[in-house]
Amino acid sequence: MIQPSASAASLLEARALTRDFDEGQVRALRGVDFSIKEGDFVAITGPSGCGKSTLLQLLGALDRPTSGTLFYRGESLPDHPNPAAYRARDVGFIFQAFHLLPTFTAAENVQIPMFEIDRSVSERREHAFELLKLVGLDHRLDHFPAKLSGGERQRVAIARSLANGPSLLLADEPTGNLDSENAHSVLELLIRLQQEQGRTMVLVTHDPAIAGRAGRILRMKDGQIVSDGKP
């Protein structure tokens, strides 16, 4: 059963969230509390191993917390009856390593998430074209990932994350594998998309300069949020 949230105004709300591994020997998250409003751009920052990526996985329903509660639009995510549907419709992931499928072209990669929603073949193709145009890659539709630069691959990944019009973008070190020029342009693209389209974005980074572009920064250390505020 989906449990009701105490604060229905928040898009995401975590209460006493923990995540243990190896039967409790490793405590990745130790009681995390926060709430994120619709349209927020939040950066999660902290040293390696502090639990940033683990938290992002919980937000994206890729993993389940050991204890505590996590609400999305007032519904408990760990109790979500169909986590795949949540990932398909409500969340767009952008990974550090792009994670494009090598045997599919740019346009096909963007279409992959669309199989989970009701779109015809031509609608999928047209929408992929629109999204690649949005990220400035409408001239690279039929290129396979191996033929694209790092920056271009991440733009394809961004287009893919937008495929089903999610409210929430989750980006895990999205510029971590890019040179500074590409990192800058990808970050600007993400910020533009977040602002223009009013999406909520949670971005994990250990780069203070990137975190500084967010509207709010959650600083983590040893599995806990040690500060929560504006840059």
Task: State the residues that interact with other proteins by CB under 8 A.
Answer: 53, 56-57, 60, 62-63, 82, 84-85, 87-89, 91, 93, 95, 97, 99, 101-104, 107-108, 111-113, 115-116, 121, 124-125, 160, 163-164, 172
- CB of 28 closer than 8 Å to CB of 19: yes
Q: Measured from the CB atom, is 46 or 60 closer to other proteins?
A: 60
Q: What is the DSSP string of 61-107?
A: TSS--SEEEEEETTEESTT-S-HHHHHHHTEEEE-TT----TTS-HH
The residue behind tokens 């920064």 is 217
- Please report how close the Cβ of residue 91 comes to other proteins at its closest, in angstroms: 8
User: Which tokens belong to 207?
Assistant: 């780069």
User: Which tokens belong to 116?
Assistant: 């989970």
- Please report how close the Cβ of residue 6 comes to other proteins at its closest, in angstroms: 27
Interatomic CA distance for residues 89 and 26, integer angstroms: 32
Q: Measured from the CB atom, is 14 or 88 closer to other proteins?
A: 88
- Please report how close the Cβ of residue 55 comes to other proteins at its closest, in angstroms: 11
- Please report how close the Cβ of residue 113 comes to other proteins at its closest, in angstroms: 4
Q: Measured from the CB atom, is 117 or 191 closer to other proteins?
A: 117
User: Which tokens belong to 110?
Assistant: 């963007």
